[in-house]
Amino acid sequence: MVIQKLSEGFGNMNEKYGNLNVVKIAGGSIVEHPAIFSSNGKNLFVVHGNCIRSYNVETGELVTVYNGLSKDAAGVALHPTHPDKLVAVSCVGEFIEWECSSRGSCVRKSQLGEITGKFVVQSFSLVQQQDEETPCVVCVAAVSGQNQACVKTFCSVSGKERNLFGKIRVDNHNKSLAVRQTDGEILLAGYCNKPKTTLTFCVSYNGSETKETQVFSQNKMTCVACHPTELCVITGDIIGCVRVWKNLLRKPVYSSYHWHTLPVQSVVFSDSGSYFYSGGGECVLVRWLLDTTTGRKFLPRLSSEIGHLSVSPKNLCISVSTRDNGIQLVNSSLQCVNSIQCFCWSSLPSDGKYLLPVEMTTDPRTKALVTNGRVGHLQFFSVDQRNLLFLLDVVGRNYLTQERSKKIQNTDVVKFAFNSDGSWLASVEFCEGEEKVPQELRLKFWEYNKVSQKYVLNTCVENPHRGAVKAIQFRPSANNENLMCVTAGEDFKFRTWSLQESTSIYRKGLVWNSENVGFYRNIPIGDLSFSSDGSLMAIAFGPTLTVWVPGSNQLKCSLTRPDAEEHLSHVEFGRRSCVHLVVTGSKLGIAVWNLLSVSLLWVVHFNLSVLVSDPISEVVAAFSDENDFVIFSPNCPDPIFKQNGLISCEDSQIVNGVFVPHARQRNSNISWQSTSQLHFFNSKQELFSLEHSTSNVDTEENRNLDVLPTESLKPKTPYAALLAQQSQSDVIDTKIEQHKHLGIPGFETLQELLKSPAHSMPPLSLVSHSLLLSFITGANKRRDDPNSHRELSDEDDEEMDYNDDSDKEEKEDQTSERRLENTKRELMSKHESTETTSMAADTEQHLLRIQKKPLDWVSELLT
């Protein structure tokens, strides 16, 4: 075995690039801070990083993005006196004001006093002093890292600190303070859990007189809210008890409302204050009557744990921020009406650590990025459109919420794979066993049904392996011939699955059956990979790379580095010009084997954590534990591109990556991203991609949103924006003829004529006119305005002229009036056919003409 090149690390780059920019594609939180409703209740404002997003409540569509802050916002609020103004304060104390209707342009910006550098703002509220024009900002600010925070008040214009409430200590948390203002009275309620749980009430009258009371509590508090009108405060605590505090200024008393078993995460009063809502880790929204502790209603099984609640004016809607990065909109009768779902997060345990691993792949059918969504779900995320396409429920179980003294585990999807054309999806769901709870492992094969446009479960296999499944892959095959899937388990075995005709006499169709089991010297499996034509399968057994023929399970060769001890964690076949090469990786380094010469091509030292290969081109991307990043081609140890510390590794780590093929042709100026773009995922569940620093990219934040009219159209969709306010068309409406009379026309007149005796009959010449007229439908009406139709059609022509010639301004008003008339007439034409009336008029005139003709010849004929 000849090692051609062995180096200490990746060498210099072949091509010169500047530093690439890391661009966040998705995953920004919209549930960090509570959402607020606009004053008319039609829009919902949501904090998203350093910008505020506005969503339409009825459609759930994103309407506007308000930018302007340099750092993450610490909340959003409506201006207390001008509710059409939107206010946000960033964590470093920037104060910003927007007009709600201004499509995101900033009105005013200022800096709040001394906050910069020293303090971090956690949350804020606005209060309006009676004798002042501008509101004051009451914010919870803390030195970062400390448990305690203090309440500071600033003037919003000058940024000077004010002293309205004295010194109040609260927790360093964005739910620890609640502020409410009624006429001339400001109520503050805040809690502090250290050193002892203290609840502070503070009431200020006209900014002059201040009263403050404190009570102690045994249980740590988690949230607080103020009653909209009365002096009443509710708090939630860690044992799940909601307390309603009254008689705040003398000797506070409370009543307990206990339903929750987990800490209450959020409480909020209804608009009038007769109800309140609470939510927590049980995923249940509870509505309480303030007067009784029993009359409660529930909305169970929300998608994830509840983080924040807010109520719209007039109680029309309640927004429930859930921990899966979604907002559920619930109406007043506790029915979900809409939901706003951003890039979906898998649910997090209470200690804030992220449950991983995360699998990522692309769906060959839709070119969507597929990754773990909610617990037990897969999410299909369109990278191009940057929106969530759909969530696929793979596990099909109820989400089990945590319990107070027990840690409940949910079964989740751990591995999945698509076949070459995306018609089959294989998923592995796993729940680790514990003491006296056996583990759960299930392999499912889903077929995409083109008619119903759904994934349909085809085969479900219980416990395909002992222990977990390390890797799963479909064999690449053209036209889906000899479909095959391979799973590698922690039981040191790999299993091949093939599609076979069902053996049951009652059911026709294909099912997946286990075909072969393979193992190698009882060594644990690290990873597996198929060659691009599907003829070979490379499996890492411990430090050894083995190559198999997939169909027959025949071992072709086994390759081991003489110095290798570390178990291989990654195996990837080369693509395109490198099909004969296999890249293997471990914590110690990356090695490339040549299968034609059965030799080691090159080895470099690299602390590998993620290895991703592009399915279309030959490049391979590798990430290290320190977030170092390198792109290389398997045939050359010199990297195409490398960058150390791609994202800061203090708080997050790159956990997975995937190359997503471009949906449409794109002129990427990065050569290795010409066919598909690399996306990677960090441990904070954020999705990134790499772009050239010079290219103007649209990040998630500053993506130019189509300008939509705010009020005129109800559905604020891009399509609705394209629709003109008024439209004209040359298409002639096919009008349906309708009878205006019931029965035979002129029947009554004829009856009258025949009823009277013959001798009393007037001369025929007198009667005939009216008799003939009565036979014509709608004749009576026409007589009132016989020329109206003619005139109207003239007007139509005129109107066309006006439209063409915009100079005739003086007639604009008239035109619009007529247009209105026109539309009215169009509407009426459904009921009354103008066609028929015009015909009637013609006939009438014709008859009149006949009448005037000399009829002497008739008498001649008679004689």
Partner 1 sequence: MPPFKKTNVNIYSKPGPQVTPDTIYWKKFSPPVLLKEFGAIDYINFSPVQPYYFALTCSVRVQVYNPVTKQVYKNLSRFREAAYGAAFRSDGQLLCVGGEEGHIKLFEIKNKTLLRVFKGHRGPVHRCFFTSDKTHIASFSDDKTVSLWDIPSEKRITSFTEHTDYVRGGTVSPVSSDIVLSGAYDSAVCMYDSRMKVTALKVDHGAPVECVMFLPSGGIFLSAGGTEVRVWDALAGGRLLAKLSQHHKTVTCLHLASDNKRIMSGSLDRHVKIYDVASYKVVHTLDYPNSILSLGVSPGDETIAVGMVDGLVSITQKEKGQKPPKQERRVSYRYIPDNFQPAEVDEVVEQEEFEAMSKFDQYFRKFEYSKALDSVLSIYVTKKHPARTVAVFRELMKRKGLQNALAGREGKSLAVILRFLIKYLGDYRFTEILINVADILLDVYEDSPLVTTDLTVSQLLKRLTQRVHEEEHLSESLANLQGCLSMLLAGASSVDSSVPDPASIFPSVDAQKTTVIEVKDVR
* 396 near partner 1 (CB under 8 A): yes
Do the beta carbons of residue 301 and residue 399 sit within 8 Å? yes
Query: In what helix (H) or strand (E) does residue 816 lie, and over which residues does it extend?
Result: helix 812-828
C-beta of 506 vs 719, nearer to partner 1: 506
**Could you give the CA distance from residue 315 to residue 329 in angstroms, rounded to a whole number?**
12
Residues 6+ apart with CB under 8 A from 370: 360, 361, 362, 363, 378, 379, 380, 381, 416, 418
Using the 8-state DSSP alphabet, how is residue 356 labeled?
A: -
CB of 437 to partner 1, least distance (A): 5
Do the beta carbons of residue 524 and residue 541 sit within 8 Å? yes
Q: Within positions 39 to 78, which residues make up the interface with partner 1, using CB under 8 A? A: none
CB of 295 to partner 1, least distance (A): 19
446 is written with which tokens? 């889903």
Closest CA to 421 of 480, 381, 379: 480
70, 218, 504, 765: which one binds partner 1 (CB under 8 A): 504
C-beta of 336 vs 720, nearer to partner 1: 336
List the end-to-end C-alpha distance of the chain, in Å, as a whole number. Answer: 133
**Could you give the CA distance from residue 249 to residue 201 in angstroms, rounded to a whole number?**
8
CB of 399 to partner 1, least distance (A): 9
204, 265, 303, 487: which one binds partner 1 (CB under 8 A): 303
Closest CA to 469 of 439, 512, 437: 439
**Could you give the CA distance from residue 151 to residue 394 in angstroms, rounded to a whole number?**
47
CA quadruple 515, 521, 524, 526: dihedral sign: negative
* 239 near partner 1 (CB under 8 A): no
Residue found under tokens 């009667």: 767
Q: Which stretch binds partner 1 (CB under 8 A): 252-260, 347-355, 432-440, 513-521?
A: 432-440
C-beta of 554 vs 702, nearer to partner 1: 554
CB of 552 to partner 1, least distance (A): 15
* 432 near partner 1 (CB under 8 A): no
Do the beta carbons of residue 707 and residue 716 sit within 8 Å? no
* 517 near partner 1 (CB under 8 A): no
* 431 near partner 1 (CB under 8 A): yes
C-beta of 18 vs 438, nearer to partner 1: 438
Q: How far is CA 781 from the centre of its chain?
A: 59
**Could you give the CA distance from residue 99 to residue 38 in angstroms, rounded to a whole number?**
12
336, 523, 771, 847: which one binds partner 1 (CB under 8 A): 336
Buried b (16+ CB within 10 A) or exposed e, 366-394: ebbbbbbbbbbbbbbbbbeebebebbbeb
Do the beta carbons of residue 41 and residue 638 sit within 8 Å? no
Site string for partner 1, 457-496 (x = CB under 8 A): -----x----------------------------------
Residue 96, φ and ψ in degrees, nearest 5 = -140, 150
C-beta of 302 vs 631, nearer to partner 1: 302
64 exposed, middle or buried (CB, 10 Å; 0-12, 13-18, 19+)?
A: buried
CA quadruple 160, 166, 172, 175: dihedral sign: negative
**Could you give the CA distance from residue 364 to residue 387 in angstroms, rounded to a whole number?**
17
* 436 near partner 1 (CB under 8 A): yes
Using the 8-state DSSP alphabet, how is residue 399 labeled?
A: P
**Could you give the CA distance from residue 367 to residue 579 in angstroms, rounded to a whole number?**
23
Q: Which stretch binds partner 1 (CB under 8 A): 294-302, 365-373, 760-768, 790-798?
A: 294-302
* 508 near partner 1 (CB under 8 A): no
Q: Which stretch binds partner 1 (CB under 8 A): 125-133, 365-373, 404-412, 793-801?
A: 404-412
Do the beta carbons of residue 561 and residue 591 sit within 8 Å? yes
* 299 near partner 1 (CB under 8 A): yes
**Could you give the CA distance from residue 162 to residue 771 in angstroms, rounded to a whole number?**
93
* 309 near partner 1 (CB under 8 A): no
* Number of other residues whose CB lies within 10 A of the CB of residue 462: 8
C-beta of 336 vs 389, nearer to partner 1: 336
Residues touching partner 1: how many (CB under 8 A)?
A: 26
77, 78, 112, 302: which one binds partner 1 (CB under 8 A): 302
73 is written with which tokens? 């916002």
256, 398, 644, 695: which one binds partner 1 (CB under 8 A): 398
C-beta of 114 vs 440, nearer to partner 1: 440
Q: Within positions 700 to 759, which residues make up the interface with partner 1, using CB under 8 A? A: none
* 510 near partner 1 (CB under 8 A): no
CA atoms within 13 A on the CB side of 135: 24
CA quadruple 347, 353, 356, 361: dihedral sign: positive
Closest CA to 520 of 571, 559, 465: 559
Residue found under tokens 């309480």: 288
**Could you give the CA distance from residue 56 to residue 399 in angstroms, rounded to a whole number?**
29
- The SS3 assignment for 832 reads coil
C-beta of 300 vs 715, nearer to partner 1: 300
CB of 554 to partner 1, least distance (A): 14
- The SS3 assignment for 94 reads strand
C-beta of 1 vs 408, nearer to partner 1: 408
CB of 398 to partner 1, least distance (A): 5
Q: Within positions 758 to 787, which residues make up the interface with partner 1, using CB under 8 A? A: none
C-beta of 427 vs 689, nearer to partner 1: 427
**Could you give the CA distance from residue 219 to residue 207 in angstroms, rounded to a whole number?**
32
Using the 8-state DSSP alphabet, how is residue 855 labeled?
A: -
* 301 near partner 1 (CB under 8 A): yes
CB of 505 to partner 1, least distance (A): 5
* 406 near partner 1 (CB under 8 A): yes
CB of 374 to partner 1, least distance (A): 10
Q: Which stretch binds partner 1 (CB under 8 A): 44-52, 105-113, 504-512, 525-533?
A: 504-512
Cα 564-570-571 angle, rounded to 5 deg: 95
1, 143, 253, 408: which one binds partner 1 (CB under 8 A): 408
403, 421, 796, 798: which one binds partner 1 (CB under 8 A): 403
CB of 462 to partner 1, least distance (A): 6
Q: Which stretch binds partner 1 (CB under 8 A): 8-16, 293-301, 355-363, 776-784?
A: 293-301
* 262 near partner 1 (CB under 8 A): no
Cα 851-853-854 angle, rounded to 5 deg: 115
Closest CA to 671 of 9, 12, 13: 13
C-beta of 505 vs 862, nearer to partner 1: 505
450, 507, 664, 755: which one binds partner 1 (CB under 8 A): 507
Q: Which stretch binds partner 1 (CB under 8 A): 93-101, 116-124, 248-256, 295-303?
A: 295-303
Q: Which stretch binds partner 1 (CB under 8 A): 22-30, 430-438, 576-584, 795-803?
A: 430-438
CB of 738 to partner 1, least distance (A): 19
* 251 near partner 1 (CB under 8 A): no
Q: Which stretch binds partner 1 (CB under 8 A): 52-60, 429-437, 700-708, 759-767?
A: 429-437
What is the spatial order of strands in the sheet that 264-269 belongs to? 264-269, 275-280, 285-289, 296-299
CB of 438 to partner 1, least distance (A): 5
* 555 near partner 1 (CB under 8 A): no
* 320 near partner 1 (CB under 8 A): no
CB of 714 to partner 1, least distance (A): 18
Residues that bind partner 1 (CB under 8 A): 299-303, 335-336, 396-398, 400, 403, 406, 408-409, 411, 431, 436-438, 440, 462, 504-507
